[in-house]
Chain A
């Protein structure tokens, strides 16, 4: 195989290689009667990029005797060969050495000639059996528009979600309704259909795909100054990106999309106003509710505290918050036994107060006079001092209970936590303790 092309077209090929290099580490080259084709696949096989150049881009185009040719070469040498293309006036690609080497001859200005020989790794080609012209939804727009969409997201973003409805397209860096990291900033961009050259969406669909490969193709579209077409069906089915320029260059990027079953969706993660609860309403709710759920809630709280015991700080300073969970843990069995009694005996107000105290634990930790508040909070509800009441009612309005809890995460895991508990008797596990029974093994 041998083909030659002039400088401008060689630069296009160089751009194509650059954008393919962002997809995969290997470049597949195929030549047949229609022209030259370059392909690349990413390591996880979730994206295949295909750029084909028609014969009219080349000055001469000689095929081998068999009629077609394909090979696989490493991307790295290719990239460095096609790096500085500004000076190139003429380029010649040929296969030499019994189909084992690809020779690149670049003739530059001032009669300089650069010659590179890249070894062929394999006679291999990749094909995809994805139908490329049956998508229900297709959106075509200028590369600038897609560039703006891509630029409004952080460069470290990995996935992009497109939500297409009949007349709007929203691009998001998260999936509506799915849980995100606590420190994650959600971004979205809503576009009207009139911004696109062509907007045909049969029915609303949501697709999530990898943004990295999409961006690499976008770069090529920018270099060609050509419009881009997105074609897709629904979540889970392939997402196609097409670029076409004067029938000479045709590009196709096939991206796999996240299927709907992989994402757990909950209404809790959808937008809602931060509302404050009406104190009267909640009070009514409490009264009408049976004690059953309250027991459960309390029990869960108790479990929470035992779990959080692990999170207490390494050394227990005079910090009230760190001291509380371990204390609670030590008295916890007693509390569980007393559970049934409390429900019967306790009057409603004290009950409610106990819950509230438990819910807003962080605030309580810094406000309420300490000495016995853990006991009050967790099992000894009858003895609750009446002076605490007004403060509790205040706490009720804070409708976002999780914000105080978050701090807990930063703490260090306790080492030898039992040593700091009240139940700890220092001499008990010491090595020289009294022998209650002789060693059964009489080896010595």
Chain B
């Protein structure tokens, strides 16, 4: 069982840290699935407080890591599955954030056995006060999940949604949902094929509807557009406001556009394209009002 990866680009390193920081905000533990060409992180409801949603991130290794070697325990296996503390991972990668104060040359990830299995994060950092690069090593303890338990750690699937809307301003949505959290425990997402998204929060005293009009409409797949005639009516789904708020508050990424897929009365699927091959997903299940 071997894993080795190296990052060289500062921008990617910063993004990678932002992903880890997002996971750390959502839950205590995260699952890292290493495949031949992909790296996945999953934050599960089981591993965190009740108000956090299911979030997973898929990273195409080619994008972030010029070097990425993964050798599973046995040749017929596809993955290495590890469980680790998201907080530790985020702290270990914090050095990559590298504001103006220091610059990072490279960052290596390496699976090692030191008393127990660890992911070693080895960063080579140059601080402004000196010219010499120094090496910062953090050993994040991990638990190796045996193949027999992989079933419960599989990557979730993106649900089929009737409508997908792209919201251009994540910041607006975040502060809005944060305020609606105090008004209603559930939040209704209404989407229409005319490119409109209505966010409805209801309380005994008031009903607050926020209308996003002319939001980018992502055409559904071919087969779904056939039923488009009857899907002319609005699609709506009501979700837990605290969960939605927890998701939006946890996001540490600089991206501004988010895609919201609505599966009528089943779930809301949120997708954040960090890069074309680096995608963060989340599913907010529907609640009954």
Contact = CB atoms under 8 A, between A and B. Distances in A.
Interface of A: 142, 144-145, 148, 152, 154, 179-180, 182-192, 194-195, 268-276, 360, 362-363, 366-367, 394, 397-400, 402-404, 406
Interface centre among B88, B127, B139, by most chain A C-beta atoms within 10 angstroms, is B139
B2 A403 contact: no
Nearest to B112: A271
A185 B114 contact: no
A275 B111 CA distance: 10
B134 A185 contact: no
B136 interface: yes
12 contacts: A183-B85, A186-B137, A187-B136, A189-B134, A194-B132, A195-B129, A276-B74, A363-B148, A366-B148, A366-B149, A398-B144, A406-B143
Interface residues of B, number: 37
Nearest to A403: B144
A303 B95 CA distance: 46
Interface in B114-142: 114-118, 120, 127, 129-130, 132, 134-141
B137 A188 contact: yes
Given A272-B112, A274-B117, A400-B144, A185 B127 contact: no
A192 B143 contact: no
A366 B2 CA distance: 25
Contacts of B148: 362-363, 366-367
A191 B129 CA distance: 12
Contacts of B144: 398, 400, 403
A276 B73 contact: yes
A394 B146 CA distance: 11
Interface string B4-27: 000000000000000000000000
Given A367-B148, A403-B146, A182 B134 contact: no
Nearest to B87: A185
Contact of A189 (B117, B120, B135): B135
B146 A185 contact: no
B129 A187 contact: no
Interface centre among B92, B135, B148, by most chain A C-beta atoms within 10 angstroms, is B148
Interface centre among A187, A274, A363, A400, by most chain B C-beta atoms within 10 angstroms, is A274
Interface SS, A side: mixed
B134 A274 contact: no
Contact of A271 (B74, B114, B130, B146): B114
Contacts of B194: none
Nearest to B142: A403
B50 to A, nearest CB: 19
Interface centre among B1, B115, B144, B145, by most chain A C-beta atoms within 10 angstroms, is B115
A372 B130 CA distance: 66
A147 to B, nearest CB: 10
A271 B138 CA distance: 12
B91 interface: yes
Nearest to A172: B137
Contact of A273 (B74, B113, B141): B113
Contact of A185 (B92, B117, B143): B92
Interface centre among B91, B116, B132, by most chain A C-beta atoms within 10 angstroms, is B116
Given A273-B113, A398-B146, 5 more contacts: A152-B95, A187-B136, A188-B137, A190-B137, A403-B145
Given A185-B92, A404-B146, A272 B113 contact: yes
A400 B1 CA distance: 10
A409 to B, nearest CB: 12
Given A397-B74, A398-B73, A180 B146 contact: no
Given A185-B139, A187-B138, A276-B1, A269 B129 contact: no
Nearest to A187: B138
B69 to A, nearest CB: 12
Interface in B165-211: none
Nearest to B95: A152
A186 B120 CA distance: 9
* 8 tightest A-B CB contacts, nearest first: A186-B139, A190-B135, A269-B115, A195-B130, A185-B88, A274-B113, A366-B148, A192-B132
A274 B2 contact: yes
Nearest to B74: A397
Given A192-B134, A366-B148, A366-B149, A180 B74 contact: no
B132 to A, nearest CB: 5
Nearest to B128: A144
Contacts of A142: 129
A186 B146 contact: no
A194 B73 CA distance: 42
Contacts of A182: 116, 141
Interface centre among A186, A188, A366, A398, by most chain B C-beta atoms within 10 angstroms, is A186
Nearest to B143: A403
B138 A185 contact: yes
Contacts of B115: 179-180, 268-269
A398 B85 CA distance: 22
A76 B137 CA distance: 39
Interface centre among B91, B112, B130, B149, by most chain A C-beta atoms within 10 angstroms, is B130
